[in-house]
Structure 1
């Protein structure tokens, strides 16, 4: 009996020891990857690799990536390697390396390497995530959506949403209340995207269709469980797909799926047409087009829904962040704020007192302010790519193997003093025509670069400019004491102020 108990005790002790030992040996073996490939690396820690701080929510992912960039740059490295748990991740530092990956040698890096699960999570199979021929085909179909002509037809919708924003500021001023500019920007962009993409008048300031921002934020939320889930699907994408793990919350998926389905059915049943993104997508669904891949296929309802979702995510949060951070910096720099306001008034005089699409394109100094805002606070803080074919880095003995994940830390790149002296200072003159011309264009990548750059860049800029015009034309702003400075960033995937940005409003 004692022999049997001894064996049981021995087994209960031995098995965990063997499992732990195997676990440690496995990770130590995985952590030799970059050393074997002659790439500088930051010493990882089992089992998190180099992502312990962001995984435990001690540091926002964008700041952790920024720190990686500056650590490699400080050592004179042209590139570096980190680990996401056991997955090697390559970080290019040299601008020529970045240019090769995004543009010159794009054929080796056509994938973003982002997880999507079309079977269990159809919303995740959107243009931003998919790759290969499917991406090329869909990109070709969607590119006409964002021509200048299409932008011009949608500008009147933006203008109407801007007037609602302006009225909301007036109400706050009348009540002598500060505005939480991030929340105001969110409501404005929700109204714009709700109308331009879904054909629905959200009227967010009256809290109609409150589900739009609710489910939009749900798609972007960050939490301890979310961090663990994202780390798992990044490190083990094939296993995640086989387990049916979703990228998006099912409640949000169901909400957007039903909204799109109802909108499409209503328009087709009642022969309703509008000058918006939804109509363009419906036309693509009903009209097969032969593209560069020669597929001649129409857009499916699942594809249509996925594109609506990513248009909403991209237009709702990124533009709202650009507006709120621009307003924050202008509230801290009154001379810059006044210069932008003077430019708005000058352009409106030129166009008979009206804000027009053509006038918007002539707001050159405002564009510099937006550019500087996106340098300091890029909405998308990391660019991802994946190597699809083994690639030898020119003029080096380093090879990037097929399947390797690539990470370009934009906050690191945009805060590099070699390109932007005194990078913490907000200075729109960095983006004057002469200064832009003198600087390598790959040192500034808020919309990416190359064939997989942001397809909706022009729409995003138009939305931000419209919002800023409506906010600044009749009011001036200063920092309210409720704003906690220095700003602390949220732990989510986007660059966002954790505690909000409160501004005092004064009428001009």
Structure 2
């Protein structure tokens, strides 16, 4: 009886400590007088996330409600104390000027038990810095130029696939075809494998890419715990990558590396560069090679295919913009004897304006996240970002702020003419981040996007089809900005 009483007292005491801890955590901003919405356990300010609301909508609502109250507002990312940054100068400080206090993303990674999470996007501190320095040369302009013919070859297969589809039906669901294109491009460049998803929509790489995004290892509560307490989750040896996905990518990388090393195979692709790094002094382990290939695949196929899909949707609605872009594309093909060259990309100024406007209106990565390593004071003494706080930079909200971009729902590439860019704060366009931790694969993403769109627009004219809702419905279950369903357009052979 005495033992039972002791156990009851212990349980009561532990429950009391837990309740006190949660109360202190969830009232932090209220006690400091920082504007915020009342949080709810256990989702904080993310009520309805992945069910009725996308992350971008919840952050944007906070931004619009409180952006004129101070440099930032309070937010609860599940149980994680966070801030949403409103002031663009503060955004610049976090990403660039005072980057050393915001080097980390506070994203879960567990290289020991879940090796595919040990990639450049998630790593912190010196591990991140060391790996970034190793990988940066692999994304140089020279390396991209070497990969260009490989991507161009897949682009020609994209044209062949479109030819077949248009012969069957003038209405084509472009979102899926573009995803298959980027899977084949990145499968070739990151793994050195012919994925053949343009020929076979059920190709294994295409299926596994979808599962990596849409098939989490855990349910919502465990995922929320991992997001809220990534260091504790690592200490408890949690894993995040689905086991089937983990086994597939680890097997593919091991087999590819072993085959290339055994047969002394060299190729102008990302895998070859990783193998070279692996075989240097203090080089990459096979797990690190797999992790970098994995994140390169995930980051490249979904973002680039979505960008091209959104661009074609807007071009179908805006025929004058489509005609102007096609004229620029044809001029560069004609200038080079009917060929598309690597140097053409740097000269396609209207294409760049169209791409920038697409990524403004459709911010694939809707928010940037940084961890605060030490207390960070702002120009307002009331507003201090405490150590350990997640700083959320609301990319989509900034991109759709009518005070920055008037009539933000209008698709207007002229916003990105040199004259218009000069009128805005330099941190008002952030699809690739900025500063030392910006997107390392920016050049590669731009290359495959330019190739894909140039080949398609040279040979086809795209028109709006009523099979596709306008505006496009958001897929609230996807962590990236993605649409629910496909993008069906009427395609006319030129």
SS at match of 1:204: coil
SS at match of 1:473: helix
Query: Is 1:61 aligned with 2:46?
Result: no
CA distance in 2, matches of 1:32, 1:467: 50
Shift of the alpha carbon at 1:273? Answer: 0.4
2:40 alignment counterpart: 45
CA distance in 2, matches of 1:226, 1:317: 23
Shift of the alpha carbon at 1:117? Answer: 1.3
Query: Is 1:438 aligned with 2:431?
Result: no
Assess if the C-alpha contact under 8 Å between 1:38 and 1:398 holds in 2: no
CA distance in 2, matches of 1:459, 1:396: 43
CA distance in 2, matches of 1:275, 1:226: 40
Shift of the alpha carbon at 1:19? Answer: 9.1
Which residues in structure 2 correspond to 1:197-208 (within 5 Å)?
197-207=190-200
Assess if the C-alpha contact under 8 Å between 1:222 and 1:492 holds in 2: no
Deviates more, 1:232-241 or 1:250-259: 232-241
CA distance in 2, matches of 1:357, 1:300: 33
2:128 alignment counterpart: 135
Which residues in structure 2 correspond to 1:65-464 (within 5 Å)?
65-73=59-67, 75-207=68-200, 210-221=203-214, 226-288=219-281, 297-464=282-449
What per-residue deviation string (whole Å, max 9, x for no partner) do you get for residues 126-181 of structure 1?
00000111111110110111111111111111111111111111111111242111
What per-residue deviation string (whole Å, max 9, x for no partner) do you get for residues 204-236 of structure 1?
122188111111111111679554333111112
What per-residue deviation string (whole Å, max 9, x for no partner) do you get for residues 282-309 of structure 1?
0011122xxxxxxxx2111111110000
User: How many residues were matched structurally?
Assistant: 490
Give unmatched runs, 5+ long, in structure 2: none
Cα distance change on mapping 1:332 and 1:225 into 2, 3 Å? farther
TM-score, reference length from structure 1: 0.91
2:30 alignment counterpart: 35
Assess if the C-alpha contact under 8 Å between 2:307 and 2:359 holds in 1: yes
Cα distance change on mapping 1:335 and 1:133 into 2, 3 Å? same
2:486 alignment counterpart: 500
CA distance in 2, matches of 1:180, 1:471: 14
Cα distance change on mapping 1:381 and 1:18 into 2, 3 Å? same
CA distance in 2, matches of 1:222, 1:259: 19
Assess if the C-alpha contact under 8 Å between 2:217 and 2:243 holds in 1: no
* Runs of 4+ more than 6 Å apart: 13-23
What per-residue deviation string (whole Å, max 9, x for no partner) do you get for residues 46-73 of structure 1?
3322111215x11111222222221222
Deviates more, 1:61-70 or 1:359-368: 61-70
Deviates more, 1:33-42 or 1:195-204: 33-42
Cα distance change on mapping 1:287 and 1:424 into 2, 3 Å? same
Give unmatched runs, 5+ long, in structure 1: 289-296
CA distance in 2, matches of 1:269, 1:19: 57
Assess if the C-alpha contact under 8 Å between 1:202 and 1:208 holds in 2: no
Shift of the alpha carbon at 1:243? Answer: 3.5
CA distance in 1, matches of 2:217, 2:173: 27
Assess if the C-alpha contact under 8 Å between 2:278 and 2:285 holds in 1: yes
What per-residue deviation string (whole Å, max 9, x for no partner) do you get for residues 403-461 of structure 1?
11111121111101111001111111111111112211211100000100001101101
Shift of the alpha carbon at 1:18? Answer: 9.7
Shift of the alpha carbon at 1:40? Answer: 1.9
Assess if the C-alpha contact under 8 Å between 1:27 and 1:47 holds in 2: no
Assess if the C-alpha contact under 8 Å between 1:222 and 1:493 holds in 2: no
Q: What is the alpha-carbon root mean square deviation over aligned residues?
A: 2.4
Shift of the alpha carbon at 1:39? Answer: 2.4
Cα distance change on mapping 1:29 and 1:191 into 2, 3 Å? same
SS at match of 2:198: helix
Shift of the alpha carbon at 1:247? Answer: 2.0
Cα distance change on mapping 1:208 and 1:44 into 2, 3 Å? closer
1:292 alignment counterpart: none
CA distance in 2, matches of 1:391, 1:15: 38
CA distance in 1, matches of 2:283, 2:202: 31
Cα distance change on mapping 1:35 and 1:222 into 2, 3 Å? farther
